[in-house]
Chains A and B, each alone.
Chain A
Amino acid sequence: MTTEIAIEVSHISKIYGSGNTEVKAMSDISLTISKGEVVGLLGPSGAGKSTLLTAIGLINPPTSGQIIIGTVLVMDGPLEMVDIREFRRKHIGYVFQKANLIPFLTALENVQIALEINDVHHKEARKRAIELFEYLGIEERKDSLPHQLSGGQQQRVAVARALANKPGLILADEPTAALDSFRGRQVMELFQKVAHEQGAGVLVVTHDHRSLDVFDRTFEMEDGTLN
């Protein structure tokens, strides 16, 4: 783990609706994740974990507060300070409860596409995708379509896709929820490996208390606040 900052979240809040229908999903949250660090975000359903994750992931802008990724101020309240889509493409990797692989692409192509849309040449993208498959131990399934893979294999492909562009930050939302305990553990250890070996900051939202030991730090969220 380095002391280089992967992300810094400063006093962000998220409010849905207004007046009588106003709902505060997140309130004054500040958080810093260093590169190479695996951070767990725990909490009951409805605590605001996914809201925080989507705000950090530049999917759902906060109502107020700042998000700095690396050294770049990305969001100032709801204002986008950079080209959000390009920023996501270059700097953030996502893994969700469902692998969300594109069903008409093979496992390898699912990773390749993430590289190609980041202007990596087709041949180079393929080479890099194969390296990632070897790194994650799924190279023998590279030509399989998503429906031909097990849940664990699909999730590994999703991790490979998240890693493809060597992002500084990886966000994972309940990545083990659809897996059995053994495969869930494997995926969590994978995040640890990626964070430590590739120097990415990893934020994992989870209910799974069996894998807490893989986290360098954990936070508990409740009613939209971070403890």
Chain B
Amino acid sequence: MNLAIRDIRHSIPRFLLTAVGIGMLLMIVMGMSGIYRGLIEDALLLVDKIGADLWIVQHDTRGPFAEISRIPLKMEDRILAVPGIKSSRAFVSHTIQEERNDKPLRIVVQGLSWPQDKGEWIPMTNGRCLASAHFEMIADKSLGFRLGEKIYLGKNVYTVVGLTRNMVGQGGDGIAFFTVRDAIAIQFDNSGEAVRLERDARRSRAIQQDIGNSRPELLDRSSLPNIPALAGPMISAVIVQTEQGADIEKVAKTISGWKDVSVHTAENQRNLLLDGSVDKARRQIGLFRALLVVISAIIMSLILYTLTLDKIHDIAMLKLIGARNSVILGLIIQQAIILGGLGYILAFYFGRWIFPHFPRRVIITTNDLIGLAVIVLAISVLSSLLGIWKAMSVQPNEVLS
């Protein structure tokens, strides 16, 4: 006869309510784990999806994710000249904030190196890749854009030609993919007034220099529109794929010899992200999760201890009529495991229902679920120790009291 089941059957509402409470607690533990995983996945998403062998960034920086990197666009062509390079693509990525329905909308603007890269590697749910050098975009669903919708960004209108899911930047903001030229245009959306002011500033600078006085024609030319007032736009990085069989380290060493750039491997980029920009958030969530596990264990201990106290007279009676300790241990441990197991199942279903409504991705992996199941099992057994200790210390003669 299973005493644990019969005791539960006798007080189903109370037991279910307790299980719901534990389930919600475990859901938070599960959620913290999912947020932790989501944070890492979001941070590494682009590095992993782009599939670059090498990242060429501004000299002595750890860009483009961990810190700002600025290199000239022509670097894309310079890199191609290095033996062993199969392809090089400009990488432009920055976050803009727009207003949509009177609410701020943050967009990670990601440049695709048209025409080599039309976005074929992007996992799309609807629509198509870029088919034009300008004014098309692929947007993540989290941005709330519809396929075919026209979006005003900077001075231009862009048509949403494709939709993706779960393509977000390390801050959790949805990514929109444009051609590099469009991405730069959105980033450096300078007004006409800014251009005019820069031309005037250039003239002022020339006047202050000897060359301006000795060659007055320069002053006349400084305001001509065919000389750009502002310097050409910079890109964040160049992403490189090496040829099959090429020695990546050798290629990296060659490019590292240049004084104006630094080279990072894909693995390097991952480490820079994990050890740098997301490290503190990662550790904070990790510690919070550990704290929640401890709190869950304490709460479960107290619940199981209370459940045992409620049965102390019955346990004394069982001892009096000669029940072995295993019978009493079984009663407490089985209840603890049933409670933990039911709490875990409820946590899973609560989570499936609630987590998709979270603003950032909550990623629950199978490994995390298995890990948490083991933790719940351990908590259940450990937290029943207090109740077991109480049950073992009960004397049969307590039946008489």
* Residues in A61-97 with C-beta less than 8 Å from chain B: 85-90, 94, 96
- Beta-carbon contact of A88 and B321 below 8 Å: yes
Say yes or no: is B11 at the interface (Cβ < 8 Å to chain A). yes
Which of B6, B321, B399, B400 sits near A105, CB closer than 8 Å? Answer: B6
CB-based A-B contact count at 8 angstroms: 67
Say yes or no: is A114 at the interface (Cβ < 8 Å to chain B). yes
With A60-B397, A109-B1, A122-B1 as contacts: A104 and B322 at CB distance below 8 Å: no
- Beta-carbon contact of A89 and B1 below 8 Å: no
- Beta-carbon contact of B1 and A103 below 8 Å: no
The distance in angstroms between the C-alpha atoms of A118 and B180, with both chains bound, is: 81
What does the 1/0 interface line of B300-322 toward A look like (CB < 8 Å)? 00000000000001100111111
Secondary structure of the B contact surface, majority rule: helix
Which residue, B7, B323, B324, has most C-beta atoms of chain A within 10 A? Answer: B323
The distance in angstroms between the C-alpha atoms of A59 and B320, with both chains bound, is: 7
The distance in angstroms between the C-alpha atoms of A54 and B7, with both chains bound, is: 28
The distance in angstroms between the C-alpha atoms of A125 and B11, with both chains bound, is: 25
Taking residues whose C-beta sits less than 8 angstroms from the other chain, chain A's interface range is 20 to 34
Q: Which residues of A sit under 8 angstroms from B9, Cβ to Cβ?
A: 104
Say yes or no: is A227 at the interface (Cβ < 8 Å to chain B). no
Which of B3, B314, B320, B395 sits near A94, CB closer than 8 Å? Answer: B320
- Beta-carbon contact of A109 and B6 below 8 Å: yes
What does the 1/0 interface line of B163-202 toward A look like (CB < 8 Å)? 0000000000000000000000000000000000000000
- Beta-carbon contact of B400 and A96 below 8 Å: yes
Say yes or no: is A117 at the interface (Cβ < 8 Å to chain B). yes
Say yes or no: is B327 at the interface (Cβ < 8 Å to chain A). yes
Q: Which residues of A sit under 8 angstroms from B314, Cβ to Cβ?
A: 102-104
Which residue, B6, B10, B320, has most C-beta atoms of chain A within 10 A? Answer: B320
The distance in angstroms between the C-alpha atoms of A85 and B10, with both chains bound, is: 28
30 contacts between A and B (CB under 8 A): A54-B400, A59-B320, A60-B397, A85-B319, A85-B322, A85-B323, A88-B321, A88-B396, A90-B322, A94-B320, A94-B321, A96-B399, A96-B400, A102-B317, A103-B10, A103-B314, A104-B3, A104-B6, A105-B6, A109-B1, A112-B1, A113-B1, A113-B3, A116-B1, A117-B318, A117-B321, A117-B327, A125-B1, A145-B10, A173-B400
* Residues of B that sit less than 8 Å from A by CB: 1, 3, 6-7, 9-11, 313-314, 317-324, 327, 395-397, 399-400
Known: A85-B322, A112-B1, A118-B322; 17 extra A-B contacts, CB below 8 A, are A59-B396, A85-B324, A87-B322, A88-B320, A88-B321, A96-B399, A102-B318, A103-B314, A104-B3, A104-B6, A104-B7, A113-B318, A113-B321, A117-B318, A117-B321, A117-B322, A173-B400
